[in-house]
Chain A
Amino acid sequence: METPSTSSLLRTVEAICFASDEPVSAAALAAHHAEVFGGTATATEVEAAVVELNRRYRAAGHSFRIKSWAEGYRMATIQEMAPVLHAFFQRTDTRRLSRSLMETLAIVAYRQPVTKPEIDHVRGVNSDYALRKLLDADFVTIAGRSDAVGRPLVYGTTDAFLERFGIRSIDDLPKPREIEELLDDPAFNTERASLLSAEGLLGEGLQPDASGDAARQANDSQPATP
């Protein structure tokens, strides 16, 4: 049975999610409803309203849903409609960050707050460029300072990151798999096979006699362990 008050809540949630430019939190939706219609809608009721609206959209075959991103709700088209919209906006299929950016972003996302030296250590390379790009894209921000010696800046992810990656909250990031699982994965061998087929890139062109020089140089230029 739909009471007048649940129907006004459904319409409020739908209208704001439709009109808003950014995700709106359940608490904000409840507050705006109470502001206009009185009563005391709770965040839980808003969540139930979203579920009900999405159920109706699905049942009626609509091309959009209310999504839960960055701790808020916002309306978006369903993935099945992507080809039409790609065509309309003249966009080439899907977007993905480059591998080095994605790795850096993953480290920031899972280890935040994290310092730049920590990121560099995990990747084994200098991450200046990647970090700058992520700051520019507003996926990463300076989250403050660490208590470590020298109080270095620490980095964390932004709401824009959650929104642009369709993640509800930081706690909802997919759990990284355990190492044993990773090593046993048949995909590990598939990747190995694809690497082997690309092996022309390595292998032949190397000069084994030059390795002595590199070893000497390596010993001269860097201390052995950090």
Chain B
Amino acid sequence: MFRVRLNQFEGPLDLLLFFIRRDELDVFNIPIAQITDEYLSYVSVLEQVDLDAAADFIYMASLLISIKAKMLLPRPDLDDQGQEIDPRQELVDRLLAYMRYKEAALHLGTLQEERSRQYVRAAAERARFEDEAVQYRVSLFDLVRVLKDVLAETPDPVRHEVQRYDYSVEDQRVFLLDTVSAGARSFRQIARLGVAGEAVTKAFVIVTFLALLDLVQQRRLRVRLGIAPEDFEVALVSDGEEGTPLPARSAFEG
């Protein structure tokens, strides 16, 4: 994806901090009317350049305008606890929290630079092989071995009642694609996460595994062995390498 960085402002909070610094404003007493006008004039330019980024900025603009309106309207001076009510409080809190994380990010940057000046052994070998990710053809046997391990670790309380399992391969296909898109990469991890609000059962692991085979066959997911002996890696097949689905029979030969 092609991304454009607009000046030094990553986001709306950065822009507000810029105004505050430039005009030496008191963070605890922000002149909302003035800063809202300046902010909006910036956003109006931004809209013409980068609509995607503008969405985040427009949200902040609406927050500023709502604060401005609250400042203009008559309101009680004190709340129930006798504290002074300032419509700007939430914005101030957010700005201050953001400043602290920006500062923390600078610290981390320094740590990373210092660390990158200290070399560890094997760095050379690692660097040389990093780019050529070793691709294994996964045999069905390998996959089943991992499945067996995960199943053995999944508790299955003995229950003497007939129970209908609510998992379907279709549901688990969606679940898998969502979870992998969200950044999960290890089958073990995915099996442990489960679906929100439900305990992980063996039935869940098995149906998820079947859905995984299905998606691999459709060439929408890819599995890679070798991250750990008792696990395998699951990744999305990117658009460029999408091919025709493998014939079902030959999916795991080799």
Mark A residues whose CB is within 8 Å of B: 18, 21, 67, 74-79, 81-82, 85, 89, 94-97, 99-100, 102-103, 105-107, 109-110, 121-126, 129, 131-132, 135, 140-142, 144-145, 150-153, 155, 164-167, 173-174, 176-177, 179, 182-183, 188, 191-192, 195-196, 198-199, 201-202, 205-208, 210-211, 213-215, 217-219, 221-225
Contact = CB atoms under 8 A, between A and B. Distances in A.
A26 B12 CA distance: 46
B10 A224 contact: no
Contacts of A205: 45
Interface in B82-141: 90, 94, 96-109, 111-124, 127
Given A199-B22, A201-B8, A213-B44, A223 B62 contact: yes
Contact of B193 (A145, A167, A207, A208): A145
Nearest to A163: B115
A204 B47 CA distance: 17
B59 interface: yes
Bin the interface of chain B by size.
35 or more
B94 A124 contact: yes
Interface string B62-78: 11011000000000000
B45 A95 contact: no
A208 B34 CA distance: 12
Interface string B183-217: 11100010001101100000000000000000000
A95 B122 contact: no
A100 B6 CA distance: 13
Contact of A96 (B13, B27, B45, B112): B112
Nearest to A208: B41
Given A103-B105, A123-B13, A211-B37, A132 B183 contact: yes
A175 B20 CA distance: 25
A131 B106 CA distance: 18
A123 B56 CA distance: 10
B163 interface: no
Given A124-B13, A183-B27, A201-B8, A131 B97 contact: no
Listed from nearest, the 8 A-B pairs whose CB atoms lie closest are A151-B196, A224-B66, A166-B115, A125-B11, A82-B117, A210-B44, A135-B183, A106-B105
B196 A97 contact: no
B101 A103 contact: yes
A76 B120 contact: yes
A161 B120 CA distance: 15
A138 B53 CA distance: 27
A75 B121 CA distance: 8
A76 B120 CA distance: 5
A75 B41 contact: no
23 contacts: A79-B117, A82-B118, A89-B119, A94-B117, A95-B113, A102-B105, A105-B105, A106-B107, A129-B1, A129-B3, A132-B183, A151-B196, A165-B111, A166-B111, A176-B101, A199-B22, A201-B7, A201-B8, A206-B45, A210-B41, A211-B37, A222-B62, A225-B63
B44 A95 contact: no
Nearest to B23: A192
A198 to B, nearest CB: 7
Nearest to B87: A225
Given A89-B127, A105-B105, A206 B10 contact: no
A9 B59 CA distance: 61
B58 to A, nearest CB: 5
Contact of A179 (B8, B13, B45, B99): B99
Contacts of B101: 103, 106-107, 110, 122-123, 176
A216 B98 CA distance: 28
Contacts of A207: 41, 44-45
Interface string B215-254: 0000000000000000000000000000000000000000
B24 interface: yes
Contact of A145 (B41, B43, B98, B196): B196
Contacts of B8: 195, 198, 201
Contact of A123 (B22, B98, B185): B98
Nearest to B36: A215
B33 interface: no
B177 interface: no
A176 B44 contact: no
